[in-house]
């Protein structure tokens, strides 16, 4: 399989040295994270440190708990009645599962983009304005207009929608809808953006546009993306976490490291089988 | 599709070399035959439904007009002495005739009701008709019989009511809709009942819509799956199936008897000597509200459940609270469904009779309701009372009232459709 990676060992080396630095910023960190659905242990003992302002990809076979881990980073699992989480998820050094932490506050700081584009059945303008508004925006109408233009520009959508801001968000194409969803997420200035297979419902061109957008956004935001597309993981992410299943179908973190390393020189046999497509 | 063409067996080469080939037999013919049989079954069912509906409507329509044998105490043709017919006369010409033919006391009463100058020509004409001519309906014939058997009807009338008049009468008229209840089928109208029904329905909407929607939101968005909530849910589902007369009994016990100080208005310093013991519009409205509440809740829940979860996730994912999610996304998107469900439930309340009989609908009131503490009657109650009367003509006005009821229901349902389309188009 051609992964589109041109191995450049010198660059590789410097990056590795860089992450060994002690003052690296941890955007979010899972410590001994277990997630249950009822009695079923879906994710077991995950320890994962996500670097700030980088793109981290979560890959692995279907059902290994990638989405589950992703959702536990902003407590979206709370919305599933049977879900139960143990362990810690540290955000700014604070366990977001500690008693007294408001999941609403967590989700404001850690936004989420879903697999299927899900704009609100409102206008493009309102799609962005709503989130800004409910999070206590104090500015005037023109401040809001500016913020929306700026947001749509950073989401690489402005030129396509500037003449129809008051059309329904649902009138856009799938790719545009997904960028709108990204736009409304970054409009509230989160620290981290979680993306669960954001391109799986899109055509290749839209996919490339979103990948480009992700690279731009990673200068400002920490991005965690779940993907089934190896090339995509290789193309956009700097770090990759590979999840796999144990015999009793619990998801575990098999290998985690620089994308370039994980794809070219996996330490683990299962990882290698998976990324080379030999996974059973 | 009936124009399916059976392919000849050699249309495709049989693939005998496939190992499972002998596991399949050619059942295509049979499958198409079964399909055709079911299609006929569906068609017949539809036709039966349409026939039933058409029969109902024709039957009612049949009674709303037709010949009527009317006998006068004084024939209208002989009342006028000038040779001019009564219809053509103006009010000032009619008034002397009236004065001549009724007692002094009666005339004074009539004048006290409304003076001559304020009366319209039709009013004067009606006065002369009812006060002087005094028509009584002896026998009526439905429309179909009137058209087919005119000769027989004429002969029958001539023989039985020699002084009677045979006129073609349309029972559903403007004055029928605008007149209050009366003992005389020629004067009786449906206005009191329509107003009663509208008052009651207004109360039903005001009470059951907000409570029902709020409960539906709670059950769908807030309640967690636990024992208590499951019991509540099961109870609501069962309550929707409880016969309406039971609600009538509940209403009688609770609203009419127990809460009488409130439902009679006594607590608010409202004293209406004609209102007996809390049998008021308020009691009726509250009873019917209870009756449809479970249905409103269940419809609301269904509409809320139909809002895609992806919207809720999108909302929560942006740091919205539960309340913000419900208010900005769940409710607006569920609203068309909620409104439709509520209006359909309300139209059920509109047609309810049994619980109102139990709660104590007035059997005979001629004055329009003035407030929610008035005595009440409603359109279905009125229909029920008229059909129970032995005289022919009451059957005719009952049919006319049924038409009024059907039209009102149609308006309600059309509103539901309109609202649904309007709110759905918004996005
Ligand atoms: N809402 C839920 N209720 C019960 N079990 C669930 C729920 N969501 C996920 N699971 C289970 O948890 C396990 C992990 O699911 P998850 O969706 O996280 O996998 P995934 O890695 O994202 O898979 P995919 O790549 O197919 O999206 C699966 O076995 C799944 O059946
Ligand atoms: Mg998933």
The domain total for chain B is: 2
For the entire predicted model, the pTM comes to 0.84
From the CA of A70, give the closest atom in ligand 1.
18
Taking CA B158 as the corner, what is the angle to CA B153 and CA B160, rounded to the nearest 5 degrees?
90
Average pLDDT per run of 10 along chain A, which is 280 residues long? 44 48 75 95 94 94 94 93 94 92 93 94 94 91 94 91 93 93 94 94 89 92 94 93 91 94 91 77
Domain range enclosing B277 = 191-426
Burial of A114 (0-12, 13-18, 19+ CB in 10 A): buried
Q: Which H/E stretch holds residue A43?
A: strand A40-51
Ligand 1: which of A30, A66, A242 to mutate, most ligand atoms within 8 Å of CB?
Answer: A66
Quick check: is B399 in a domain?
yes
Separation between Cα atoms, residue A222 and residue A109, nearest integer Å:
11
Confidence at residue B6, expressed as pLDDT on a 0 to 100 scale: 55
Among protein residues, the one whose CA lies closest to atom 16 of ligand 1: A65
Separation between Cα atoms, residue B406 and residue B404, nearest integer Å:
5
User: HSE-up of B46 (CA within 13 Å, CB side)?
Assistant: 6
Confidence at residue B4, expressed as pLDDT on a 0 to 100 scale: 57
**Are residues B352 and B308 both part of a single domain?**
yes
Q: Which H/E stretch holds residue A62?
A: none
Confidence at residue B10, expressed as pLDDT on a 0 to 100 scale: 58
Which residues in chain B have their CB less than 8 angstroms from residue A116's CB? 310
Q: How far is the CA of A66 from the centre of ligand 1 (A)?
A: 8
> Counting every residue, how long is chain A?
280
**Are residues B222 and B303 both part of a single domain?**
yes
Residue showing tokens 């850690």: A110
**Are residues B138 and B263 both part of a single domain?**
no
A181 touching B (Cβ < 8 Å):
yes
**Are residues B299 and B420 both part of a single domain?**
yes
Boundary of a domain, candidates B135, B169, B203 = B169
**Are residues B409 and B283 both part of a single domain?**
yes
Strands across the sheet with A83-91, in order? A94-95, A83-91, A26-37, A40-51, A251-258, A239-245, A55-59, A222-226, A192-196, A110-113
**Are residues B230 and B372 both part of a single domain?**
yes
Among A195, A199, A217, A197, which Cα is nearest to A208's? A199
Report residue A21 as tokens. Answer: 């630095």
Ligand 1 and A82: CB distance under 6 A:
yes
Find residue B309's DSSP bridge partners: none
Taking only the tens place, the pLDDT of each residue in B361-379 is 877 787 778 788 888 889 9
Quick check: is B269 in a domain?
yes
Taking CA A124 as the corner, what is the angle to CA A123 and CA A129, rounded to the nearest 5 degrees?
90
ipTM entry:
0.88
**Are residues B156 and B227 both part of a single domain?**
no
Confidence at residue B21, expressed as pLDDT on a 0 to 100 scale: 66
Residue showing tokens 């996974």: A279
Q: How far is the CA of B400 from the centre of ligand 2 (A)?
A: 63
**Are residues B333 and B271 both part of a single domain?**
yes
Ligand 1: which of A30, A33, A62, A68 to mutate, most ligand atoms within 8 Å of CB?
Answer: A68
Residues of chain B short of pLDDT 50, as ranges, are 1-2, 427
B333 touching A (Cβ < 8 Å):
yes
**Are residues B258 and B317 both part of a single domain?**
yes
Separation between Cα atoms, residue B374 and residue B184, nearest integer Å:
24
Quick check: is B7 in a domain?
no
Which residues in chain A have their CB less than 8 angstroms from residue B224's CB? 81
Residue showing tokens 């309701």: B369
- Could you tell me which residues come within 8 angstroms of residue A278 by beta carbon, excluding any fewer than 6 positions away? A272
**Are residues B301 and B196 both part of a single domain?**
yes
Ligand 1: which of A34, A37, A246 to mutate, most ligand atoms within 8 Å of CB?
Answer: A37
Q: Which H/E stretch holds residue A276?
A: none
- Could you tell me which residues come within 8 angstroms of residue A202 by beta carbon, excluding any fewer than 6 positions away? A174, A175, A178, A210
Cβ–Cβ < 8 Å for B378, B200: yes
Confidence at residue A74, expressed as pLDDT on a 0 to 100 scale: 93
Nearest by CB: A112 against B224, B317, B426: B317
Residue showing tokens 């989160």: A190
Is B326 in a helix, a strand, or coil? helix
Parallel, antiparallel or unpaired: strands B165-170 and A94-95: unpaired
Distance from A132 to chain B by nearest Cα, in Å? Answer: 9
Separation between Cα atoms, residue A221 and residue A187, nearest integer Å:
12
Residue showing tokens 């107003």: B195
Residue showing tokens 């410590």: A31
Distance from the Cα of residue B191 to its chain's centroid? 14
Separation between Cα atoms, residue B246 and residue A161, nearest integer Å:
59
Mutant choice from A72, A107, A126 vs B, greatest count of B C-beta within 10 A: A107
Instruction: Give the CATH number for residue B203.
Output: 1.10.3720.10
Quick check: is B421 in a domain?
yes
Ligand 1 and A63: CB distance under 6 A:
yes
Confidence at residue A1, expressed as pLDDT on a 0 to 100 scale: 41
**Are residues B196 and B322 both part of a single domain?**
yes
DSSP per-residue codes, B213-274: HHHHHIIIII--S-HHHHHHHHHHHHHTTS-HHHHHHHHIIIIIIITHHHHTSGGGT---TT
Structural domains of chain A sorted by starting position, each given as residue range(s) with its CATH number in brackets: 9-114+192-275 (3.40.50.300)
Nearest by CB: A114 against B313, B321, B328: B313
What is the distance between the terminal CA atoms of chain A, rounded to a whole angstrom?
Answer: 16
- Find the closest chain B residue to A168 by CA distance: B427
A170 touching B (Cβ < 8 Å):
yes
Cβ–Cβ < 8 Å for B80, B89: yes
Find residue B65's DSSP bridge partners: B170
Separation between Cα atoms, residue B208 and residue B345, nearest integer Å:
10
Taking only the tens place, the pLDDT of each residue in B44-75 is 999 999 999 999 999 999 999 999 888 888 87
**Are residues B276 and B379 both part of a single domain?**
yes
What ranges make up the beta strands (E) of B113-211? 135-140, 165-170
Quick check: is B295 in a domain?
yes
Quick check: is B12 in a domain?
no
Confidence at residue B45, expressed as pLDDT on a 0 to 100 scale: 98
Q: Which B residues 205-234 touch A at CB under 8 Å? A: 224-225
Confidence at residue B14, expressed as pLDDT on a 0 to 100 scale: 65
C-alpha separations of A121 from A126, A162, A170, A181, B5 in Å: 9, 18, 6, 12, 46
What ranges make up the beta strands (E) of A124-269? 192-196, 222-226, 239-245, 251-258
Nearest by CB: B314 against A118, A168, A188: A118
Among protein residues, the one whose CA lies closest to atom 14 of ligand 1: A65
- Could you tell me which residues come within 8 angstroms of residue B409 by beta carbon, excluding any fewer than 6 positions away? B347, B350, B351
Quick check: is B373 in a domain?
yes
Which residues in chain B have their CB less than 8 angstroms from residue A104's CB? 319-321
Report residue B246 as tokens. Answer: 């039971």
Cβ–Cβ < 8 Å for B178, B191: yes
Separation between Cα atoms, residue A75 and residue A96, nearest integer Å:
8
Report residue A255 as tokens. Answer: 């290998």
Taking only the tens place, the pLDDT of each residue in B130-161 is 888 788 888 889 999 999 988 888 888 888 88
Confidence at residue B301, expressed as pLDDT on a 0 to 100 scale: 96
The radius of gyration of chain A from alpha carbons, rounded to an integer in Å, stands at: 19
Quick check: is B46 in a domain?
no
């Amino acid at each position: 399989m051609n992964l589109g990676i041109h191995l450049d060992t010198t660059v590789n080396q410097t990056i590795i040295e860089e992450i060994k630095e002690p003052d690296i910023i941890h955007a979010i960190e899972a410590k001994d994270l277990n997630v249950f659905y009822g009695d079923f242990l879906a994710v077991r003992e995950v320890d994962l440190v996500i670097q700030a302002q980088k793109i981290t990809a979560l890959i692995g076979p279907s059902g290994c708990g990638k989405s589950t881990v992703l959702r536990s980073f902003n407590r979206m699992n709370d919305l599933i009645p049977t879900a139960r989480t143990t362990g810690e998820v540290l955000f700014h050094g604070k366990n977001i599962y500690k008693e007294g932490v408001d999941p609403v506050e967590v989700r404001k700081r850690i936004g989420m983009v879903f697999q299927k584009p899900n704009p609100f059945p409102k206008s493009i303008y309102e799609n962005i304005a709503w989130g800004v508004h409910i999070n206590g925006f104090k500015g005037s109408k023109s401040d809001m207009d500016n913020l929306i233009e700026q947001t749509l520009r950073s989401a690489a959508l402005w030129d396509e929608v500037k003449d129809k801001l008051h059309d329904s968000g649902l009138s856009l194409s799938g790719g545009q809808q997904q960028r709108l969803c990204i736009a409304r997420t970054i409009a509230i200035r989160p620290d981290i953006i979680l993306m669960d297979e954001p391109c799986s419902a899109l055509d290749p061109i839209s996919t490339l546009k979103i990948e480009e957008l992700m690279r731009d956004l990673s200068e400002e935001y920490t991005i965690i993306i779940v993907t089934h597309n190896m090339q995509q993981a290789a193309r956009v992410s700097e770090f990759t976490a590979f999840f796999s299943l144990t015999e009793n179908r619990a998801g575990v973190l098999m290998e985690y490291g620089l994308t370039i390393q994980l794809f070219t020189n996996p330490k683990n046999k299962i990882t290698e089988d998976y990324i080379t497509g030999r996974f059973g | 599709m009936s124009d399916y063409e059976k392919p000849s067996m050699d249309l495709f080469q049989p693939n005998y070399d496939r190992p499972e080939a002998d596991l399949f037999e050619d059942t295509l013919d049979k499958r198409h035959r079964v399909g055709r049989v079911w299609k006929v079954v569906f068609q017949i069912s539809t036709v039966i439904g349409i026939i039933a509906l058409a029969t109902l409507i024709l039957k009612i329509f049949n009674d709303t007009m037709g010949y009527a044998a009317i006998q006068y105490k004084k024939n209208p043709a002989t009342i006028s002495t000038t040779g001019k017919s009564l219809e053509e006369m103006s009010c000032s010409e009619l008034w002397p005739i009236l004065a001549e033919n009724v007692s002094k006391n009666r005339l004074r009463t009539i004048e006290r009701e409304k003076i001559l100058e304020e009366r319209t020509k039709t009013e004067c004409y009606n006065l002369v008709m009812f006060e002087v001519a005094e028509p009584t309906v002896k026998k009526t014939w439905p429309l179909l019989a009137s058209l087919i058997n005119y000769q027989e009807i004429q002969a029958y009338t001539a023989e039985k009511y020699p002084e009677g008049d045979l006129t073609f009468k349309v029972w559903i008229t403007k004055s029928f809709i605008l007149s209050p209840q009366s003992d005389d089928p020629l004067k009786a109208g449906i206005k009191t009942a329509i107003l009663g029904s509208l008052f009651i329905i207004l109360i039903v909407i005001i009470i059951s819509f907000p409570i029902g929607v709020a409960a539906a939101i709670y059950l769908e968005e807030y309640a967690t799956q636990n024992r208590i909530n499951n019991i509540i849910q099961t109870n609501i589902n069962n309550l929707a199936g409880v016969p309406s007369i039971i609600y009538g009994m509940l209403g009688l016990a609770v609203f009419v008897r127990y809460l009488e100080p409130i439902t009679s208005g006594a607590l608010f310093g409202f004293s209406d000597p004609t209102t007996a013991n809390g049998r008021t519009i308020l009691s009726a409205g509250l009873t019917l509200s209870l009756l449809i509440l479970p249905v409103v809740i269940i419809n609301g829940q269904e509409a809320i459940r139909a809002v895609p979860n992806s919207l809720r996730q999108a909302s929560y994912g942006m740091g919205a609270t539960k309340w913000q999610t419900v208010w900005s996304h769940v409710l607006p998107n569920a609203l068309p469904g909620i409104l439709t469900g509520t209006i359909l439930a309300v139209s059920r309340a509109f047609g309810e009779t049994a619980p109102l009989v139990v709660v104590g609908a007035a059997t005979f009131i001629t004055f329009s309701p003035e407030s929610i503490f008035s005595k009440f009657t409603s359109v279905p109650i009125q229909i029920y009372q008229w059909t129970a009367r032995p005289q022919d003509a009451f059957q005719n006005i009952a049919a006319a009232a049924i038409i009024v009821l059907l039209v009102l229901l149609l308006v309600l349902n059309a509103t539901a459709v309109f609202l649904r389309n309007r709110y759905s188009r918004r996005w």
